[in-house]
Amino acid sequence: MVERAEAIRTLTAPGQPFEIEKVKVWGRDCLWFKNGPPTLRQLYETTRSDKPFIIYESERLSFEDIWRRSCRLATVLLNDYGVRKGDRVAISMRNYPEWMIAFCATTSIGAIAVAMNAMWQPNEMEYALNDSRPRVLIVDPERLERFLQCEKAPRDVAVIVTRATKAPPAGIARLEGYF
């Protein structure tokens, strides 16, 4: 039986698919996958397929489904919300498929996904939003209710809600068609 360390050495050796090389990143030596995609967007794009990616209750989404929905949401983030490389997009929801779509959309445009704990109460959510200063907050209905209880959360953050069964309050976007 091959030991873990030996398997890793074999897979990452020169000429192998997962070859590792030393590169300088911001002036520091780092180990890097030589054949890896240079961006997350390229990783998402090159792994598109009809194979199942997310199964949630009766919903089945393939890698291609997630790619397409992520592209639609990324376009909205760029064009409607002005999100740019380095901006933050907070994601606060339970483990819905939209969580992954929001993450892929955000990171594919070079923005930073701020993963917020879905169990946080309003005061914890408020602290995280003030600390991270996202341009956009993407929530499910339960997290929207918690956000609305935040008295000192930044008011310049745009809010998008998904899986809403009723119309959100004024100023909050409901983008079901983009997910």
Question: Using CA atoms, how far apart are residues 62 and 164, in angstroms rounded to an integer?
Answer: 23
Mean predicted lDDT score pLDDT of the chain? 94
Q: Mean pLDDT throughout 14-28?
A: 94
- pLDDT attached to residue 2: 78
Beta strands 52-56 and 59-62: pairing type?
antiparallel
Per residue in 119-178, pLDDT (tens digit) is: 999 999 999 999 999 999 999 999 999 999 999 999 899 999 999 988 888 888 787 766
Position 75 confidence tier, pLDDT thresholds 50, 70, 90: very high
The model carries a pTM of 0.87
